[in-house]
Every structure is written in C-alpha cells, then in structure tokens.
Amino acid sequence: MTIEAGIEGRAAQATRVAVSVRNVDMSFADFHAVKDASFDLEDGRFLTILGPSGSGKTTLLRMIAGFQKPSAGEIFINGKPVSATPPHKRSIGMVFQKLALFPHMTAAENVAFPLKMRRFDATTIPERVQRYLDLVHLGGYADRRIHQLSGGQQQRVAIARALVFEPDLLLLDEPLAALDRKLREEMQLEFRRIQRELGVTTINVTHDQREALVVSDEVIVMDKGVIQQKAPPSATYRTPANAFVAGFIGVTNFISGKVTATSGDAVSFDVGGSEVTGTWAAQGPAPSVGASVTGALRAEQVRLASSEAELSGCQTTSRGVVRDAIFEGERLVYEIDLAPGTLLRVFDHDPAAHKQFAIGDNVAMGWNARDVLTFPN
C-alpha cells in the first residue's frame, strides 16, 4: 500500500458531514470577498484552506465562526443552518491569528474562561483545565500570566482554550504565521498530533503551502474569492485542477505556446521554436491546433545531463545555458534558458551524486510528457 492510499484509506472511514458550506457569497461595500463557495467536510477531518492574501480564505473562516454573516448562501454545522446563530451560541473553538489571549488572565484562567461562559459544572473545571494544559504540554505553567510565556507557549494556551469545551469544530486562523520557521514546523506537527488525538473536525487557514500539505487530510485552494480545488494534499500536488493551483503549490515552471498537434491527452506546443509535449490536465476537450496553452512543469521533474544520450528515459529533451546555480543546502537550484524569455528552474536534490554544472554551461534537460500539465492559457 502506498502512503497516499494509506492516508486516503483512513479518510474513507469517516462519513458523517460535519460542516457544509452551500453557495456562500460575501460582498463588502466595494469588494466581492467570497464567490459562491460550496464544500462539505466530513467529521473528524483536518481541512486546510490555502490561498494568497485577499483570496477570501479568512472571510470564509470568519463566516463559519459567526463573526460575519454571508451575503448569500448557508453554512450548516452538523446538519443545522447556523446563519441565525450568534458566535457565542455556536460550539466552535478558534485559534486566532494574533491568538487573542486575555492578557489580564493567567494561562489557566484563559483556558477556564470558555468553561465558565458555557456554564460547565464549576467543580469539574479545575480538573478539566489541568487535563487540557497537560495535553498541550503546559501542565507546569497554569499560573503564568500570558506575557510571561514564550510565543510557542502562548500558541499552546490558545489551542487549549479553543479545545477545552470539546467544540464540534476547531478553526485555526493562520495562528502560525508569525512564528519563526523552526517553531512553526514544530507547531504544525503539534496541531496534527492534538487533532488526531481528539479527533476534532478542524478547518485551518494558511498561505503556507508546505503547512497545508503537512497537516491536512484535505486542502481547499482559494484565489480571488473562488474555490479552485478541494482534494487531498497529494492529489492537490500531483493533479492540480488549474494553472493557479499548479503554480501556488510547489515550485512550478510555466511554459506557454501555441498548440501544434494533439493526440488523445497529449498536447504538443511550440515554445520559442522548440516543441514541448504535455498532458492535457484541464476539464473539457483537448484544445485545437493554434490555441494558446500553458504547461506546468515542476522543478523536481526535470533531469539534467551533459548530453541528450544520458537522458534516454525522457520523452522530451532540450538544451539550454545555465544562467544561475543556487546552493540551498538540501538541493541545488539551476536556472536554465529553455527558449528566449523562458527560464526553467530545476532542482537537483542530490548534487553530490551528480555532475554539477556551472553558470554558462550548455546542458541537456529532459522530462516526460505526463509531467507537463497543460492548461488553457
């Protein structure tokens, strides 16, 4: 069983729909933030809404939380429409971008706050607060004030506060955006661990594509207020629905040209004099000859060699001059002229094992037609 089959197999066990967003629209005075968004999220799953700033992802999250009312459409939580329910009557825990911990309370008081507001039995509150502080590894920090805690510890208090009342749904509004990379990656795994341990349905919002791939069962990519794709992380990466998704996740080369021939899914197009063959990846029939198309080719799918003879396994080969070679530690990144005005970025993940090229070298590049995902331009 492959890793992806394992991940998707686990998802198949959950079937009950926890959150259903139906044709939700959100317009501000001069800005159409969310356009006709619809998706279902099954119980216990971890969904990430990924998109650049201004894509409408935070607006969508805030509508689910109840801070904003959709202009049109309806949101269902556990089958019930919630538009008329104010935020404090919804069973939703949320971790805010700037955490929004109560500065005048201790860590334990912050975590106890939702229990008091939701009228939990007062005698059980201290025990439950301690249990959730332990869950986030902050058992010994109960009496610290918020400003006495480090950034990572504050994150953990915010998680405990969002989860302590066992909400139906957990929302994460880019809480990791402000952290440095190392701590961010540590907290991503921590979110994942806690989410699995408690099995709480989670919607995470981020602009960090790596985070989306690492933590999620499913990824929604949004752009300009429109949901572009909803798929498991591996499918989002391997079979992007359109050029935007292909470009937003991973390092992708875009090569554009006019179609010269088609045969089934295979589309050949002319890029500044050299012919590139790709695979039609968009919905609908293959384009006609002469149509303008864009091929998306991941930087790690291109192989390099001194001569074409060494690239016998590749369906397409081409030559180009190395314009830059950047050492990034775990990989070397080459920028190579494919055609006038078209630079190809190529990863070499094992530079010690291969011949290394220098700026100005004329090299052979090769790839397969299935790796050039071709979309209408």
Partner 1 sequence: MTQQPLGKSIVIWTMVALVLIVLSAPTIVVLGASFTSGNIIQFPPQGFSLQWYAKIALADDLRSAFVRSLAVALICTLISIPVGTLAGIALSKYAIKFERTLQIYLLLPFTIPLIGSGIGLMLLFGEMRILGQIWPVGLACCVINLPFMIWAVMASSASLDPDLELAAANCGAGPISTFFNVTIPGVMPGIISGSLLMFILALNEFLVSLLLTDARTVTLPVQIYNSIRSIITPDLAAISVVFIVCATLVIALLDRLVGLDIFLKSK
Question: Residue numbers of the site for partner 1 (CB under 8 A)?
Answer: 65-67, 86-89, 92-94, 96-98, 100-104, 113-114, 117-118, 161-162, 165
Return the number of the residue (39 or 113) whose C-beta is nearest partner 1. 113
Return the number of the residue (50 or 170) whose C-beta is nearest partner 1. 170
Place of tokens 């384009």: 287
Tokens encoding 332: 């070397």
Give least dist CB 87 to partner 1, A: 4
What are the residues whose beta carbons fall under 8 Å from the beta carbon of 303, sequence distance 6 or more? 311, 313, 314, 365, 366, 367
Give least dist CB 96 to partner 1, A: 5
The type of residue at 334 is: Y
Alpha carbons 190 and 233: distance in angstroms, whole number:
18
Return the number of the residue (71 or 97) whose C-beta is nearest partner 1. 97
R_g of the chain computed on alpha carbons: 24
Return the number of the residue (118 or 354) whose C-beta is nearest partner 1. 118
Q: Could you give phi then psi for residue 195, rounded to 5 degrees?
A: -60, -40
DSSP H or E stretch at residue 236: helix 233-238
DSSP H or E stretch at residue 116: helix 107-117
Give least dist CB 205 to partner 1, A: 14
What are the residues whose beta carbons fall under 8 Å from the beta carbon of 235, sequence distance 6 or more? none
Return the number of the residue (65 or 305) whose C-beta is nearest partner 1. 65
Give least dist CB 221 to partner 1, A: 25
Give least dist CB 104 to partner 1, A: 4
Return the number of the residue (66 or 225) whose C-beta is nearest partner 1. 66
For residues 297-316, one letter each, b for 16 or more C-beta atoms within 10 angstroms of the residue's C-beta and e for the rest, the string is bbbebbbbbeeeeebeebeb
Give least dist CB 86 to partner 1, A: 7
